[in-house]
């Protein structure tokens, strides 16, 4: 995307946000107080229509075509680093492009299939964030209010706000660090276990806090356990029900589900394979599990097509008011590379060509996932490799972003799998890993 187009879109988006901010406020004020969902939905629908009309006129600069050879190379690089298979789906103005490599099932030898469902790990955090931010739009929650206002006495510090949870700045320790200190034994200990949210939070509270509230970014799955608790407190319904009624059904995500604590992935799916910490030991089939250790932090199941649909709809304003989407996409750095940032349950990656993409990464035992879209929602990529505890495979899979959004670049020195798409730094970790 050119700088002139970026400026044009930014100004246009600001105009839309300004115009529609009043619409959201007016609709909310005149709505029946017992039906805030309908008021917020009407405002979001109007925002969506204006947003899409705005970008229709503004998007005259043609983005680079995806480098499909580069996507192929990234998938093969993930396999070379330990993934049995990998796949990617890109959607853009030129249509949909898919690529696969390897197998989705090591026993049957079934090839990887972009229609297959899989566990998306921490990409679930963006789903949870959307639900919570819709509640903000409906004035059931406030971003800068203390969590303890809504869940009295839950946290040991009244300074921890809802925003701190969504931005990973609460200072709450990540309970998964100790849980998976030994990767395979830790996984087997929780594979079939069913936790309550409170039990998971208690595991975190047993460890010292990592930062003062708001002081620094420190990724923690605990934050989104508390997000789940807030959603259920504010709505009186389960997180799974809220996913379904607010996201899955409206967007017709037919291959997306939250089945906690069922262990199965129904229908066509990829099997996941976990690398043990010790080199030379066989992979562990980790497909069946409750994912109760994650829940609203990482237990959603989806497909590449549904993830493209979700990130596209989110960026096009179909799920949140302009004001709330602006807050969600307001980011701060997560490391020293100046290429990676975090907003409200949303990552932003700044690619080598200047493109900025929004979405999330995901790690759950046996699966790595990337699901990202441009800010205008016109180009989206979802990619998955069916392994985990293998950081090099995760880093290689991230190369699909450069290839898809930046197009062809000159080859760099090294093997054919080391084309010019390689990320500038290792993949970010959503879950403690040892290899």
DSSP 204-272: HHTS--SS-TTTS----HHHHHHHHHHHHHHHSS-HHHHHIIIIITTTT-TT-B--TT-----SSB---
Nearest-angstrom CA–CA distance, 131 and 358: 17
- Reply yes or no on whether 122 is catalytic: yes
Residue environment code for 11-40, b if the CB has 16+ CB neighbours within 10 A, otherwise e? ebbeebbeebbebbeebbeebeeeebbebb
> Which two structure tokens, joined as six digits, stand for 1?
């995307």
Dihedral pair phi/psi, residue 247, rounded to 5°? -130, -60
**CA–CA distance from 114 to each of 85, 130, 167, 366 (Å)?**
11, 25, 31, 17
In sequence order, what are the beta bridge partners of 87? 100, 384
First CA to last CA across the chain, in angstroms?
Answer: 36
Q: Which residues are CB-neighbours of 13 under 8 A, at least 6 positions away?
A: 51, 54, 322, 326
Asked, as a colleague might, if the bond just before 261 is cis with ω within 30 of 0, I would say yes
> Which two structure tokens, joined as six digits, stand for 39?
């008021």
Check if the beta carbon of residue 140 is closer than 8 Å to that of residue 234: yes
Which member of 91, 122, 129, 388 is catalytic? Answer: 122
Nearest-angstrom CA–CA distance, 116 and 16: 38
Rg (CA), the chain: 21
In sequence order, what are the beta bridge partners of 373? 358, 380
H-helix or E-strand spanning residue 275: none
**CA–CA distance from 342 to each of 9, 188, 219, 347, 428 (Å)?**
21, 31, 10, 4, 12
Check if the beta carbon of residue 274 is closer than 8 Å to that of residue 284: yes
Q: Which residues are CB-neighbours of 402 under 8 A, at least 6 positions away?
A: 70, 351, 352, 353, 409, 420, 421, 422, 423
> What residues are labeled active site?
122
């Amino acid at each position: 995307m050119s700088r002139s187009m970026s400026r044009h879109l930014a100004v246009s988006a600001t105009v839309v946000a300004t115009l529609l901010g009043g619409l959201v406020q007016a609709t909310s004020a005149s709505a029946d107080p017992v039906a805030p969902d309908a008021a917020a939905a009407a405002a979001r629908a109007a925002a969506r229509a204006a947003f899409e009309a705005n970008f229709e006129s503004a998007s005259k600069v043609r983005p680079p075509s995806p480098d499909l050879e580069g996507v192929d190379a990234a998938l093969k690089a993930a396999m070379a680093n330990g993934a049995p298979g990998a796949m990617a789906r890109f959607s853009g103005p030129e249509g949909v492009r898919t690529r696969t490599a390897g197998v989705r099932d090591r026993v049957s030898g079934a090839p990887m299939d972009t229609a297959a469902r899989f566990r998306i790990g921490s990409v679930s955090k963006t789903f949870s964030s959307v639900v919570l931010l819709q509640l903000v739009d409906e004035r059931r929650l406030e971003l800068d209010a203390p969590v303890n206002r809504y869940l009295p006495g839950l946290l040991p510090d009244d300074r921890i706000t809802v925003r701190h949870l969504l931005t990973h700045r609460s200072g709450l320790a990540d309970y998964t660090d100790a849980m998976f200190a030994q990767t395979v034994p830790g996984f087997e200990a929780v594979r079939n276990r069913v936790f309550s949210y409170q039990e998971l939070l208690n595991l975190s509270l047993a460890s010292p806090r990592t930062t003062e509230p708001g002081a620094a970014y420190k990724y923690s799955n605990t934050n989104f356990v508390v997000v789940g608790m807030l959603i259920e407190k504010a709505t009186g319904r389960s997180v799974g029900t809220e996913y379904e009624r607010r996201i899955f059904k409206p967007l017709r995500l037919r291959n997306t589900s939250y089945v906690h604590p069922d262990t199965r992935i129904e229908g066509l799916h990829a099997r996941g394979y976990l690398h043990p910490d010790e080199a030379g030991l066989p992979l562990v089939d980790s497909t069946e599990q409750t994912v109760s250790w994650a829940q609203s932090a990482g237990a959603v199941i989806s497909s590449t097509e549904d993830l493209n649909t979700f990130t596209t709809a989110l960026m096009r304003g179909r799920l949140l008011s302009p004001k709330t989407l602006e807050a969600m996409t307001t980011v701060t750095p997560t490391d020293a590379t100046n290429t990676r940032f975090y907003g409200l349950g949303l990552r932003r990656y700044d690619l080598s060509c200047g493109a900025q993409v929004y979405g999330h990464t995901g790690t759950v035992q046996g699966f790595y996932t990337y699901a990202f879209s441009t800010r205008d929602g016109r180009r989206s990529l979802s990619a998955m490799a069916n392994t985990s505890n293998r950081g090099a495979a995760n880093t290689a899979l991230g190369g699909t972003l450069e290839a898809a959004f930046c197009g062809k670049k000159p080859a760099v020195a090294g093997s054919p799998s080391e084309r010019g798409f390689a990320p500038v730094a290792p993949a970010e970790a959503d879950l403690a890993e040892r290899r």
